[in-house]
Amino acid sequence: MNYKITLLPGDGIGTEVVSAAVKVMKAAAEKFNITFSFNEQLIGGCSYDKHGTPLTDDALSVCYDSDAVLLGAVGGYKWESLPQHLKPEAALLKLRKALGLFTNIRPAKVYTPLLSASTLKPEVLEGTDILIFRELTGDVYFGEPRGYDEEKGWNTMVYTREEVVRIARNAFDVAMKRSKRVTSVDKANVLDCSQFWRKVVHEVHKDYPEVTLNDMYVDNAAMQIVRNPRQFDVILTQNLFGDILSDIAAMITGSLGMLPSASLGTKYALYEPVHGSAPDIAGQGKANPLATIASVAMMFAYSFQMNKAADLIYDSINKTLEAGYRTADIFSPGTILVSTAQITDTVIENFNLIFDEQALGVFTL
């Protein structure tokens, strides 16, 4: 089986973390008897510098012809003064809309070796495994009218029934395979749009009687995520709130460099780390590639239905962390500071080791 992958490294550390993830993909391909065909395209500031637009139609066409898209990061100081529609970040909205990506899945799972990397107490974090389902095509990001003048600025928060139904079903379907608990996060006490969201979510919930549904206001959810994260399993929420809550959840994992994501539609899929382009460390070998590598694990699970390969990648990350290897963002006294390339090579070594041990019927703790 050959899979066509579009690579969009983007700006800053995006090129470094995507390169690292590709190495892991190639290692997994060898073990699982598959092949990848990679097609690299520009996105973000580098695309603007060359083509005058953050995302070209040609690059989009390549994405349309792929089995999955792997994105690094976009943005940087040099493009901040550009008009909104030409900024690197505009490419992300265009890409999501063009590919019809409506479900953004962001896991916030605490690796035991990283319990001390967070500013939160280890006893609060241990055992946390949250899956955030963020709706990706509605809300203030796409609502019209929008704009600003000298006196005011305005955005429109809007959702259609179809948009709420499809993301809710995805969340409930996954919850059925986990602990059968969903927390729907909104602001229904003050926002009409959130009242509509809550109404439709509850209608969909009737088809999933085994799942426990709990409603929570977004301000309380933000507090609860850092107070008692283990109370959550699947979080279902609107576009704006999901954007904020998933970054808050990064504090649980110890660093934004640990947070992967998958953006799924009916036909296309995009995988990317949650972190930004970090231009201040770009090209220095300091970037943490683990979020991008974990995003590849999500690709294996969601796009290729290769759950064993996905689990092996997660196990390899954990084994690497257990051995004490850390990039600068998760480094602490007593651990081993390594570069982007070094931690990637260690993940691959552990992947091969675990695969070979399991093939021989040897299972290690």
In this structure, which amino acid lies at residue 32? F
Q: At what angle do helices 239-253 and 218-227 cross, to 10 degrees?
A: 10
Task: Look up 271 and say whether it is catalytic.
Answer: no
Q: What is the 3-state secondary structure (H, E, C) of 141-207?
A: HCCCCCEECCCCEECCCCCCHHHHHHHHHHHHHHHHCCCCEEEEEECCCCCHHHHHHHHHHHHHHCC
Give Dmax over CA atoms of the chain in angstroms.
Answer: 70
**Is the CB of residue 218 less than 8 Å from the CB of residue 187?**
yes
**Closest C-alpha to 315, from 353, 343, 273, 287:** 353
Q: Annotated catalytic residue: which of 49, 65, 192, 219?
A: 219
Q: Annotated catalytic residue: which of 23, 87, 109, 187?
A: 187
Task: Look up 311 and say whether it is catalytic.
Answer: no
**Closest C-alpha to 59, from 40, 73, 76, 72:** 40
38, HSE (Cβ side, Cα atoms, 13 Å): 14
Q: Annotated catalytic residue: which of 67, 247, 311, 315?
A: 247
Q: Annotated catalytic residue: which of 3, 111, 141, 302?
A: 141
Q: Annotated catalytic residue: which of 186, 243, 329, 345?
A: 243
> Rounded CA gap, 362 and 209, in Å?
40
| Terminal CA-CA length for the chain | 32
Task: Look up 219 and say whether it is catalytic.
Answer: yes
Task: Look up 243 and say whether it is catalytic.
Answer: yes
> Rounded CA gap, 297 and 29, in Å?
12
Alpha-carbon torsion, ordered 42, 46, 51, 57, to 10 deg: 30
Residues recognised as catalytic: 141, 187, 219, 243, 247
